[in-house]
Amino acid sequence: MKLSTTILLLLLVGGLAFFIVTEERSMLTTKEKLSMATKPFSFKPEEIYGITITTKDNSVELSRQNGDWQMNTPLIDRAAPDHVAKLLTDILALEWLETIKSSEMDKSALKSTGLTGNATIVTLHTQDKNVIQIKLGNKAAIENTTYISLPSQDESLLHIAKTELGTFLQKTPEEWRDSKLLRLKADAIRRITLAAETGAIEFSRAADGAWTLDKPLQTRASDERLKSVLAAILNLEIKFFKSVDQTAPAPNSTQSLMEITLEAAGEIKPVVITLHSAATPGADVMVKVNNRAGAFLAPGKVAELWKLHPNHLRDQRLARIPVEAATVIRLRSPAYAEVILDRQADTWMLTRLGKTESANQDRVQKLFDGLNSAQIRDFLSDAPTTLDAFGLNQPFLEVEWRTNAIAKVLQLGQGAQGIVCAKYKDEPFIYRVNPLMLSSLPVDGQKWRNKSVINVSQFTVSRIIIAEGNAPSLTLNYQANIASWKANMAGKDVTAQLDNAQANILLQRLANFESLDWSSDRRAANEALKNTTLTVQLLLSDPDNPKAELKATTLIFAPTIPGMDTALYHGRVEGDPDSFLIDRDRYHELISSVLKK
């Protein structure tokens, strides 16, 4: 075979292969063909910009404008977006069950389809052309089916379609109107004004989403309560006047007005809602809004808006501290030294008596939880002429916290009849709060100490000496490198009687000894510890200097009532000015014998 012939054949084969590949890509699959045969419509709802629905009684024209559906005929108003969405979804879901040629039907059968008379016709439009026209007739004999033809294609073909669209399309023009007064998103609202004869209340929203009361006071608003009010306004369901004169006053309406102004992101101008109060309690309220023509009726419960007072919508929470951002806490009281707490990395540290140590992390969290959950019981004054009546001229406690270099100081005082009053140092407002919140704000610095009394490595413990009352002391010598114990009591070697497992448990408890809490009553603790009932001494080695002299840490204990096995016991580390409390079970664990019976 000549070379030229071979090349020609190769070109022909390549061209044929290319044709097959490209044609197969454009050809419909069997599944796609079947889908087209049974579900004839395929379009994207967002591409539809116009809908015309013609029934024997009415013609309704809808159009999409700036993303919203509007009714243009026979009324001019906002259309119900849910109805439009359902219409388009139902058309896409239409499914042919059977197709019949009209020429194969007699006149009686053809008439029974409802497609020869005043059938309902739906026309869908894109921005530049008709997408499709659908004629819907009567229900067919099969359940949930309707006779349909397509005038824009071949009207001689009649289809039995699985759909109840025919019933849905029998809505009156009024029913195609939006039954919700507004179509605004709550997150888009930036400013709210409620204005009535009694005055105006104004709110604005910060970038972080928090609401502020701007008028008649400037203070924090209740995000939760304002969200509830806003939801009631945005979800307001309305009815339409049936009279031709849509501006006529509603029955039982009065001249008492409320104007609600909403400023929202993406809106060119504010949306203004006008409410006319009803003369009869509970009766419908006439409503107008500046972005819709005419007037409407809202349920009588909307009259509750007239009852709103600025205090109802103020922040009812005493504090909103962003805990993760907090770096400083200070508690100041005339009776005690200042409590100084600072965050270092993820740990809160307590500075006290010239020493810095790990603070009680749980108590710090309890402080934040207590302040952030504390509710304002009453707004006592917004412009006090004197602080004496509230005990805030000389507060019994000041709590300061710092977040992102911003300091807030909360002052607490005792007012008339023992009520607890609160005020931020840089604000004029005075609140009444629950006295129980003080339980999370102890002013005694030792209460902020870590509950850990001893926290050492077990490998540094060389000796434990236990002396209970007048009984002979027990000395336990420990060699950490070989985990070996020796015991001595009253100068006698009792190692053979030692229960090594119990000795190991005692070692673990003492090396990580934690109190129940630190004592508040120093006098009672000092008096009780004059009659010590138990002494436990640990001799600790220095891991960095094995030859150094052992360092002693001594614990002493006594019951809260002398001579009794009390529920709580006082304890102290010798040399530490603070005493602590342990419970009876912990005390009994310490005196439990490590010698075999």
The rounded Cα 301 to chain-centroid distance in angstroms is: 27
> Rounded to an integer, what distance in angstroms lies between the CA atom of residue 114 and that of residue 96?
17
Total number of domains constituting the chain: 5
| Shared-domain flag, residues 282 and 331 | no
Across-strand partners of 194? 201, 260
The rounded Cα 389 to chain-centroid distance in angstroms is: 38
| Shared-domain flag, residues 294 and 414 | no
If we measure between CA atoms, which residue out of 535, 536, 567, 566 comes closest to residue 469?
535
Spans of the chain, pLDDT less than 70: 1-37, 242-255
| Shared-domain flag, residues 56 and 90 | yes
| Shared-domain flag, residues 262 and 280 | yes
| Shared-domain flag, residues 8 and 85 | no
| Shared-domain flag, residues 471 and 549 | yes
Tell me: the pLDDT tens digits for 8-17?
566 565 555 5
Please report whether residue 261 resides in a domain. Answer: yes
Please report whether residue 568 resides in a domain. Answer: yes
Please report whether residue 460 resides in a domain. Answer: yes
The rounded Cα 126 to chain-centroid distance in angstroms is: 41
- pLDDT score of 26: 44
DSSP secondary structure string for all residues of 351-391: EETTEEEEB-HHHHHHHHHHHHHPBEEEEEESS-S-SGGGT
- pLDDT score of 548: 86
Domain boundary among 127, 147, 176: 176
| Shared-domain flag, residues 71 and 133 | yes
Q: Which residues in 439-451 are b (16+ Cβ under 10 Å) and which e?
A: ebbbbbbbbbbbe
Strand order in the sheet with 326-333: 355-358, 347-352, 336-344, 326-333, 397-403, 406-414, 420-424, 430-433, 376-381
Tell me: the pLDDT tens digits for 45-87?
999 999 999 988 889 999 998 889 999 999 899 999 999 999 9
- pLDDT score of 428: 95
Please report whether residue 213 resides in a domain. Answer: yes
Residue pair 488/475 in contact (Cβ under 8 Å)? The answer is yes
- pLDDT score of 447: 94
| Shared-domain flag, residues 401 and 461 | no
Tell me: the pLDDT tens digits for 456-513?
999 999 999 999 998 999 999 999 888 899 999 988 999 999 999 999 999 999 999 9
- pLDDT score of 205: 94
Please report whether residue 55 resides in a domain. Answer: yes
Domain boundary among 448, 477, 503: 448
Consecutive H or E run containing 148:
strand 145-149
Please report whether residue 181 resides in a domain. Answer: no
Query: Hey, what are 5's tokens?
Result: 């012939």
| Shared-domain flag, residues 418 and 489 | no
- pLDDT score of 37: 60
| Shared-domain flag, residues 10 and 60 | no
Please report whether residue 384 resides in a domain. Answer: yes
Please report whether residue 596 resides in a domain. Answer: no
Residue pair 400/332 in contact (Cβ under 8 Å)? The answer is yes
Give the domain range for residue 82. 39-176
- pLDDT score of 372: 97
| Shared-domain flag, residues 235 and 121 | no
Domain boundary among 119, 149, 176: 176
| Shared-domain flag, residues 44 and 154 | yes
